[in-house]
Amino acid sequence: MIKRFLAAFATLMVVVGCGSSSNMEKTMLTTNTIIIDVRTPAEFAEGHVEGAINLDLESGQFEAELPNLDPAQPYIVYCRSGRRSGVAVEIMKASGFTKITDYQTLENAANNTGLTIIE
């Protein structure tokens, strides 16, 4: 079921694009905000937002860990280009998560949260 959803969503993202980062608003971080980087561990090691956790979307790690996440908490999700974060956000929404901000890229996440990129 999720694999069919991912395939359909990936096709949709190619057709309509990932959106513009110019419409993004800054997020007020709370002590409960969880930042998720859905890139590969190698990409994460090259640089990530301070305090982010790495849950690789394409390896299946993200879906495996999703049941361990609290749907009531606020989340920020990002990747390299916005494709994977968009897929992750749609999976989260379908799983009952409601407080999700998709910042698409590492740079957008850092700029809009005011957090540092750790290299």
Query: Which two structure tokens, joined as six digits, stand for 92?
Result: 């989260």
Per-residue pLDDT reduced to its tens digit, 70-88: 999 999 999 999 999 999 9
**Residue 24 within a domain:** no
d(CA 115, CA 62): 23
**Is the pLDDT score of 58 beyond 90?**
yes
**Residue 96 within a domain:** yes
**Residue 23 within a domain:** no
**Residue 66 within a domain:** yes
Q: What b/e readout covers 2-32, taking b as 16+ CB neighbours within 10 angstroms?
A: eeeebeebeeebeeeebeeeeebeebeeeee
* Secondary structure letter of residue 24 according to DSSP: -
Which residue in 35, 49, 77, 79 is the catalytic one? Answer: 79
**Is the pLDDT score of 103 beyond 50?**
yes
**Residue 20 within a domain:** no
**Residue 22 within a domain:** no
Q: Could you tell me whether strands 48-49 and 53-54 are parallel, antiparallel, or unpaired per DSSP bridges?
A: unpaired
Residue-level pLDDT at 30: 79
What is the span of the domain harbouring residue 88?
Answer: 2-15+29-118
Asked if 18 is an active-site residue, the reply is: no
